Homo-oligomer: A and B are copies of this chain.
Amino acid sequence: MSEKRLNILITNDDGITARGLRILIETAKQYGDVLVVAPDSHQSAKSHSITQAAPIRFDKVIETEHYTEYSCSGTPVDCVKLAIHEISERKIDLILSGINHGSNTSVSVLYSGTMAAAIEGGLHNIKSIGFSVDNHSSEADFSDTVPWMEKIIEELIEKEFPVGVCLNVNFPDVSKVKIKGIKTLRGASGVWGEQFIKANDPHKRNFVWITGALTNNDEGNPDTDLYQIEKGFATVVPIKVDFNYYDFIKELSTWKFNDFKI
C-alpha cells in the first residue's frame, strides 16, 4: 500500500535552510512521501553545473515514515541526479524545485539552479516544476502562493505530460500584491546586461562583483511571462531543452567549410 504513495523529490538552489523550500515541503506532504535532497549552501545562478572535479557529500538529516531529508554539498542538478540514481530506492514520480527567492522569468531560466533542477527532472521524464517568487529577500513570506501551487501540482499529478518537458512557474511578489490568476504562455526573450561593481577587500586587494539588469526584448507583449508577472498574474511556461537552431542548419550546410578536405 505504501508503494502507491507518490514519491516526491524536493530541491532548490537557495539552500536547505531557505524559507521558500520549507513552504514547498509542507505543501507537498499531502500528496505523498517526500524526499528532500537540497544543497547545504546557497547555489543561486549555478545553472546546470555539476560537481565533476570534486567529491560530493550528502548526509541524512531527518527520517520519519513519510519524510526524509538530505543535505548535499553539490549543486541543484547534483541533488537531482543523486536522488534519482543513488538515494531513492523507488522511481521518483514528481520533482518540485524552489520556491526560489527571486523570479526566474525570460532568459533567467538559463542561469537558475532552481530551474536547472526541474529541467534535469524533465530530461529523466519525471514530471517536474520549478517555482519562483519575484522577491529576493530570504525573509519574504511566500505562503500566499500555496493554494495556487496546489492547483498546478494536483493537475500535473493527474494528467498526461509530454516527455522531456518541465514547468516554470513564477509568482509576482506576494508580499506586496494579491495574485490575480494564472496565465500559461511563453517566456519573454531577453538578455542580462551586466555591471561590475568595483571595490577593495579589507586587505586592499581589488575585486569586482557582478550585478546587472534584464533587457526585455519582448516589451509590451502580453503573451510573455515578464508582461503578466508585472500585471500581478502567476505565469506557467512549459520548458524543453533543445539547443539546435533548426532554421539555420540548411543554410549553414551550404557554407564552403562543408566541402573542405585535406
Residues of A within 8 A of B (CB): 42, 44-53, 55-58, 78, 81-82, 84-86, 107, 109-111, 113, 116, 119, 123-124, 147-148, 151-152, 155, 159, 162, 165, 168, 178-179, 181-187, 189, 191, 193-196, 199, 201, 205-210, 236-249, 252-253, 255-258, 260-262
Contact = CB atoms under 8 A, between A and B. Distances in A.
Could you say how many copies of this chain the assembly holds?
2
Contacts of A242: 189
Contact of A162 (B84, B186, B248, B255): B248
22 contacts: A45-B51, A46-B47, A47-B47, A50-B210, A81-B210, A85-B195, A86-B196, A107-B241, A148-B262, A152-B257, A155-B257, A159-B255, A162-B247, A165-B245, A168-B243, A183-B258, A184-B252, A184-B253, A184-B258, A186-B249, A238-B245, A240-B245
Contacts of A245: 162, 165, 238-240
Contacts of A205: 57
A262 B70 CA distance: 35
Contacts of A206: 57
Given A47-B48, A57-B207, A148 B260 contact: yes
A50 B212 CA distance: 12
A194 B48 contact: no
B246 A186 contact: yes
Contact of A49 (B47, B82, B262): B47
A199 B258 CA distance: 47
A116 B239 contact: no
Contacts of A111: 48-50
B151 A260 contact: yes
A86 B58 CA distance: 38
A12 to B, nearest CB: 15
Query: Of residues A44, A253, A256, which shows the largest number of chain B Cβ atoms within 10 Å of its Cβ?
Result: A256
